[in-house]
A and B are shown apart, each in its own frame.
Chain A
Amino acid sequence: MLAHAPATAVFTLMAHNAWRWVIGWWRIVHFGAVVGVLALAPGSYSRRQQHEIARHIVLDTAPVLVWFTLLSSLLSLVIARIVVVTALSYGLTQYALEMVVRVLVMEIIPLTAALFVAVRCTLPHGEELAGMRIRGDLQRLRERGLDPLRHEVLPRAVAGLFSVALLSVLAGTVALVLAYLATYGFTTWALDGYTRTVGRVFSPTVVVVFALKTLLFSLAVVLVPMGSALHDATRSRISAEVRGLVRLFALVLLIEAGSLAINIL
């Protein structure tokens, strides 16, 4: 009996943790579905609500727009230069540009934008929401007859989605320009060939995968931190934050792996 007791306890603990893991992910999925319904419902866009969404969009996007563009430009320039110089040294110049476009625009920029928005906006939003939940602010809203999801969560979620989309597209465009400049310099002679290469890289399948990946990244960085903050039964804000961060990285990794697998296929 004594020998069996610890084993049973470990098993029970493992089962309990697995159940909590499943429940945690289920709550995030459910939270995502509810936010999706609220986002698609016309009633969520009252004048006051529109103002709140606009405020969050400006707050979440405008301050990071310039900084992120500069940061991603620097990163794009460095990577493009490395790839082009390496390809030149191996005599593979014809593949250098295609590789730069594929690696930068398809893989690195959306991932960077999503993580940047997560760190800069959605994780702090999750922290805020967790604080509100712990303080009982959300409960007080409910008592006043207001839906906390609609009034506090939806504007933050929409702003997060918008921010990831805008940063990805803007940084991608800048990366395309910088890749051209890093490869050919300030000349217009290679524009035709470059346009052709970009057209070849972005086949319809690749564009769909790129759009889906960006959407899934934005959903992940928005829903995981906020869902964890709202539903995890912990009294510690730090613990909820770390748990949300781990979930977020796991999901982002999964999405990236899935997109790579589809691109290879």
Chain B
Amino acid sequence: MTERDEQPKPIAHVGFKAALLLAALVLLVAGSVVFLLYARGVFEPTQRLTLVADDSEGVVVGMDLTFAGFPIGRVRGVELGDDGKAHIHIDVPKKEARWLKQSSVFTLVRSFVGGTNLRAYSGILTDPSLPDGAVRTVLRGDSTEEIPKLVASVKELVTNLTALTNENSELAQTLANLNAASARLNGQRGVLGMLFGNERDAQRVVTTLERTNALLARLDGMSAKADTQLFGERGVLPEARETIVQLRGLLNETGASLKKVDAILNDAQAIAGNAKIATQDLGALRTEVETNLRKIEQMVNELNRKWPFAREVEIKLP
């Protein structure tokens, strides 16, 4: 076997064929990369939504946010916020963001089988749209999480029921008392026996009732007698009526007398007015008499001065 024999068969256009295969590989790899980038939503304009949850268990990067069963967003990251709660960052494509309203509710549901689901519910589609960068609280609906709470509640309920149905429990005592009360109710004294608890007190109440009846009978007689005394033929009321008639006559007479007194008073008032006028006239007369007297005095004084035998008028100084 020589080297010439081992020479392989030449391949026609080997360079072109190899370049074709190389181009195919490059195209496939580039196409796959572009498709994966598109599938992961790299080329889509998005807006950010942050959901705040107490527990982010089951939430993974890349999971969908669904609305009516259709994926409308994708979880981009989960972080523990400064408030100690899980912050789930979701990218929602702009064209899908119209389904999210300000009144939308977000839930995080973890089922027995399968993964966790993030769901959005928009009851009022006419509400304003959710703004970019909105932060909302997510409601957790976890069927497995409820089981321990349910078991704890049932346990507590069973404990309470056991305490209630215990022989020394308050319910048992109440039932026993009720039983005793119903026995007394069916006894000789009936309701009274149940109310007072003993025969003696019940008997006293009955006696009191009987005495009250007797008292009422006596009161009835007394009221009949009082009626006779008041409204009888020789009763108080007819006599009072006569007295009132007499009193009315007396009052009429008194009124006439008073009218006469009134006339007298008028006359007296007229007399008093005349006396007042006379008094005024007397004042004027007096003034006139005083004036005349003063003139007479002046005339006497004049006569004394002019009289020759008039005494010497001298002034003696002390």
A25 within 8 Å of B by Cβ?
A: no
Query: Is B8's CB under 8 angstroms from A169's CB?
Result: no
In the complex, per-residue mask of A224-264: 1 if CB is within 8 Å of any chain B CB, else 0: 00000000000000000000000000000000000000000
Q: Is A172 an interface residue (CB 8 A)?
A: yes
Whether a CB of chain B sits under 8 angstroms from the CB of A16 is no
A198-B36 contact, Cβ under 8 Å, with A55-B11, A58-B11, A166-B28: yes
Task: Name which residue of chain A comes closest to B28, CB basis.
Answer: A169
Question: How far does the alpha carbon of A54 sit from the alpha carbon of B6 in the complex, in Å?
Answer: 19
B36 near A173 with CB under 8 A, answer no
With contact pairs A169-B29, A199-B36 given, residues A193 and B14 touching in the complex (Cβ less than 8 Å): no
**Cα A95 to Cα B40 with chains together (Å):** 18
Q: In the complex the two chains form, what is the Cα distance from A207 to B18 in whole Å?
A: 27
* Cβ–Cβ contact B41 & A199, under 8 A: yes
Q: Is B25 positioned at the interface, with any CB of A under 8 Å from its CB?
A: yes
Q: Nearest-CB distance from A259 to chain B (Å)?
A: 18
Contact B39 A202 (CB under 8 A): yes
| Chain A neighbourhood of B62, CB < 8 A | 199-200, 203
Instruction: Report Cα–Cα, A94/B64, bound state, in Å.
Output: 12
Number of residues of chain A lying within 8 A (CB) of chain B: 30
Query: Which one, B11, B24, B40, B64, contacts A59 given CB within 8 A?
Result: B11
Would you call A203 and B61 a contact (CB within 8 A)?
yes
B13 closest partner in A (C-beta): A58
A170 within 8 A of B: yes
Contact A51 B14 (CB under 8 A): yes
The residues of A that contact B61 with a CB separation of less than 8 Å are 203
CA distance A199 to B8 in the complex (A): 46
Mark out the residues of chain B between 1 and 46 whose CB falls within 8 Å of any chain A CB in the assembled complex: 6, 8, 11, 14-15, 17-19, 21-22, 24-25, 28-29, 31-32, 35-36, 38-41
Query: Given A55-B8, A58-B17, are A198 and B113 also a contact pair (CB < 8 Å)?
Result: no
Most central of B8, B31, B32, B41 by chain A CB within 10 Å = B32
> Which A residues touch B25, using CB under 8 A?
162, 165-166, 169
B71: which A residues are within 8 A, CB to CB? 193, 196
Report which of A50, A137, A195, A207 forms a contact with B38, defined as CB distance below 8 A: A195
Whether A95 pairs with B114 at a CB distance below 8 angstroms is yes
The complex places the Cα of A203 from the Cα of B61 at a distance, in Å, of: 9
Residues of A within 8 A of B194 (CB): none
Say how far B190's CB is from chain A's closest CB, in angstroms: 69
Contact present for B114 and A58 (CB under 8 Å): no
Tell me whether A172 and B32 are in contact (CB under 8 A): yes
Top 9 closest pairs, chain A to chain B, by CB = A199-B39, A54-B18, A199-B40, A169-B28, A195-B39, A58-B17, A166-B25, A57-B18, A198-B39
Can you add 16 more A-B contacts, CB < 8 Å, to A162-B22, A169-B29? A51-B14, A53-B18, A54-B14, A54-B15, A54-B18, A55-B14, A57-B22, A58-B11, A58-B21, A59-B11, A92-B114, A95-B114, A165-B25, A173-B31, A196-B64, A200-B74
19 contacts between A and B (CB under 8 A): A51-B15, A54-B19, A55-B8, A58-B17, A58-B21, A59-B11, A62-B21, A92-B114, A94-B114, A166-B24, A169-B28, A169-B32, A173-B31, A173-B32, A195-B39, A196-B71, A199-B38, A202-B39, A202-B40
